[in-house]
Amino acid sequence: MAKAKATSEVPIGLKLKQLYELQTIDSEIDQIHVVKGELPIIVSDLEDEISGLNTRVNKLETSKKELDGEHSNHKSNIKAAEDAIKKYEKQLDGVKNNREYDALNKEINLQRLEIQLSEKKMKEITEQVKAKKTTLEAVNEKIAAKKAELDEKKEELSKILEKTDKEEATLVSKSEKSRKKIEERLLHAYDTIRKRYRNGLAVVMVKRNACGGCFNQTPPQVQLEIGLRKKIIACEHCGRVLVDDQIHEVEG
């Protein structure tokens, strides 16, 4: 209860000053993020793309090995069929009747068909392996290009982070300290408005008779009320909290 009373006793002008100071700090942090740009996302996307390409290479190599295995099996089948034909042809010399002769010739023809089928399959596999090799070369070239691009982006990001990390850490610490001075309901409103806009502006000055966020005109009467700092006033167009250009002079 004592804490709630202390919060309620903080003058509106000081509350507005605290909010504006927090906005100023958070805007500096936002600007650092802008300086970093999309590089972290680009680096992450490149890493994911390279990982996906490596997975594809592994699948292609596995498929190629399987095809090589099939090719070897068909080669072995041809050798076995050729050996069988030699055996049957040798047996033909000792046949005693037409039935045995026909049976052996049938086996020889079957083995020749096996050879033709295996040779056809080997030819198809050779073409498939050739296509796999071509694809592998293309994918590996793409991986090399992506890795070179990734190294370049990482170096670029590293230089930016080196310049901004210390500054950002200091600002984040200042932001956290500033947030502790502001009551919870105002912080919630502030965070809600910040998330609503890409530039993260939740508290803005009235400049040249206009809202510093959406640039719509602020009526003279509203400007007068803002200058009095008797209540928190939001822009009727964008909902941002409005402060006057003398807010820095508020004591406290």
> Is 25 in the same domain as 53?
no
Domain stop point among 107, 139, 169: 169
Residue 56 belongs to domain spanning: 39-169
In a domain, residue 175? The reply is no
What is the per-residue pLDDT for 95? 85
> Is 209 in the same domain as 235?
yes
> Is 26 in the same domain as 113?
no
Quote the CA–CA distance of 154 and 146 in Å, as a whole number: 12
Q: At what angle do helices 98-181 and 12-36 cross, to 10 degrees?
A: 150
What is the per-residue pLDDT for 6? 47
Relative to beta strand 210-211, strand 241-243 is unpaired
> Is 133 in the same domain as 161?
yes
> Is 64 in the same domain as 138?
yes
CATH number, position 192: 1.10.287.1490
| Residue type (1 letter), 201 | L
What is the per-residue pLDDT for 9? 79
What is the per-residue pLDDT for 2? 36
What is the per-residue pLDDT for 227? 94
Domain stop point among 114, 141, 169: 169
* Residue-wise burial string across 46-73, b where 16 or more C-beta atoms lie within 10 A, e elsewhere: beeebeebeeebeebeeebeebeebbee
CA distances from 212 to 201, 205, 245 (A): 9, 5, 11
Relative to beta strand 203-207, strand 210-211 is antiparallel
> Is 51 in the same domain as 23?
no
What is the number of domains present in the chain?
Answer: 2
Tell me the pLDDT of the chain (252 aa) as tens digits.
334 334 557 899 999 999 999 999 999 999 998 888 888 888 999 999 999 999 999 999 999 999 999 999 999 999 999 999 999 999 988 888 999 999 999 999 999 999 999 999 999 999 999 999 999 999 999 999 999 999 999 998 888 888 888 899 999 999 999 999 999 999 999 999 999 999 999 999 999 999 999 999 999 999 999 999 999 999 999 999 999 999 988 887
In a domain, residue 178? The reply is no
> Is 99 in the same domain as 7?
no
> Is 60 in the same domain as 112?
yes
Quote the CA–CA distance of 21 and 27 in Å, as a whole number: 10
